[in-house]
Amino acid sequence: MEAKGKGTRVVIIGTGFVGSSYAYALLNQGVIDEMVLVDLNKEKAEGDAMDLNHGMPFGSPMRIWAGTYQDCSEADLVVITAGANQGPGETRLDLIEKNAKIFRTIVGSVMDNGFNGIFLVATNPVDILSYATWKFSGLPMEKVIGSGTILDTARFRFLLGQYFDVDSRNVHAYIMGEHGDTELPIWSHADIAGKPILTYVDEDNHVNMNELDTIFTNVRDAAYHIIDRKGATYYGIAMGLVRLTKAILRNENSVLTISTLLRGQYGLDDVYIGVPAIVNRQGIREVLELNLSEEEQKKLHHSASVLKEAMKPVHDIV
């Protein structure tokens, strides 16, 4: 275990595709002061630490090393990317039981070393594993954040930007619900620089709802398309995790679609699910409760019911 310096420390648990991509993006963007890589395969973590350190002369100063769970005692943020991956033809929900058992060991090991920071969960099924992490850790729900639909929202904005030929950063639209097959687009609050996208449907003959629905379908099924082609998705989610890391450590009070525990918002309770929330140094400051259409509200409740049903085996573990 290395003594903590004066800066920020992030411990990454799991140095597979997502974990190593996140580490690389953190180094490139110079977000933190200390990065610790923890993996069951210690040699893999050591190799990644060496490789990243060799890029230091081209980037920002940072201390990077392969460590142990002891390093979590001084961490500001523990990011969990470890677990079984989603394979071809496999849904995120298929991974529940095996990854919940893995998480019981991981979270227990982190907490046994006096961790009192914020958990960021990226492993799928992320909503259920975020709930499990909250239960296993005993931390306040504000300090356990799932990556939720942050990537789905980014995919949505990118494809809408492509469709309308505008910078995706000027597209404001959310995907909510499960990070998975029951997620939903919030068309009622989607806009480009303040102009509602549904207005384009009414005013422009070149914009029609069928094409927009196809865009959402491509967002929802993006992981399947990528997995079929290259075996896994990792660059997009790595960038999303860096965005979340910045929002937390820099106390940005940013609105991001993350997975968090609902306690009455949207008429839902005791479920981690993807919703817009304000994120800062304390974790989840506030869940933003949008005025959804009747259809959107119904779909969100359906998504939550699917998650709750799928989570029943996890209750036996937690």
Residues catalogued as catalytic? 179
Q: Which of these, 46, 110, 57, lies nearest to 80 by C-alpha position?
A: 110
Fill in the amino acid letter for 85: N
Q: Is 38 annotated as a binding residue?
A: no
**Residue 250 annotated in ligand binding:** no
Residue 214 known to bind ligand? no
Could you tell me the sign of the dihedral formed by the alpha carbons of 61, 66, 70, 75, in that order? positive
Q: Is 285 assigned to a binding site?
A: no
Q: Which residues are paired to 118 by β-bridges?
A: 77
- On whether 76 is known to bind a ligand per the annotation, the reply is no
The annotation status of 213 as a binding-site residue, yes or no, is no
The answer to whether 157 and 236 have CB atoms below 8 angstroms apart is: no
303 annotated as belonging to a binding site for a ligand: no
CA angle (75, 29, 27) in 5-degree steps:
60
Structure tokens at 90: 């496999």
Q: Is 260 annotated as a binding residue?
A: no
| Residue 247 in marked binding region | no
133 annotated binding-site participant:
no
CB 173 within 8 A of CB 158: no
User: Is residue 182 a known part of a binding site?
Assistant: no
The response to whether 230 counts as a known ligand-binding position is no
Among 21, 135, 13, which Cα is nearest to 77's?
A: 13
CA distance 201 to 62: 49
Residues contacting residue 206 through CB under 8 Å, at least 6 positions apart: none
Q: Was 263 annotated as part of a binding site?
A: no
Cβ distance 189 to 198 under 8 Å? no
Instruction: Assign 166 to helix, strand or coil.
Output: coil
CB burial of 25-40 (b: ≥16 within 10 Å; e: otherwise) equals: bbbeeebbbbbbbbbe
Determine whether the annotation assigns residue 14 to a binding site. yes
- Residues belonging to the binding site for beta-D-fructose 1,6-bisphosphate are 157, 172
- Residues belonging to the binding site are 14-19, 39, 44, 69, 83-84, 86, 92, 99, 105, 122-127, 147, 152-155, 157, 172, 233
- Residues belonging to the binding site for substrate are 86, 92, 124-127, 152-155, 233
